[in-house]
Amino acid sequence: GAFLAKVLQGGTERALLDRLKHSFETVRHVKPEASRADSAELYVLAQGFRGGG
């Protein structure tokens, strides 16, 4: 399975990424080209669900 979420940067996104890394084979965060440079948004894509939490 996969998980995709829009996340606003603000200091807690590292905890989310760390948690997802325990449950998925790959976890990537991407800032879309269309996003303004000063925008706090990014997207997290996790693939290969292996269970746990």
Which pTM does this prediction carry?
Answer: 0.77
- Digit-by-digit pLDDT tens for the chain (53 residues) are 999 999 888 878 888 889 999 999 999 988 888 888 888 888 999 999 997 65
The reported pLDDT for the residue numbered 15 is 87
22 is in which domain, residue-wise? 2-49
pLDDT of residue 53: 55
Cα gap 24→4, rounded to integer Å: 12
The yes-or-no answer on residue 31 being catalytic is no
Least Cα distance to 52 among 29, 21, 28 occurs for 21
Q: Considering the chain, what is the average pLDDT of its residues?
A: 88
pLDDT value, residue 45 = 95
Catalytic residue, chosen from 2, 3, 4, 6, is 6
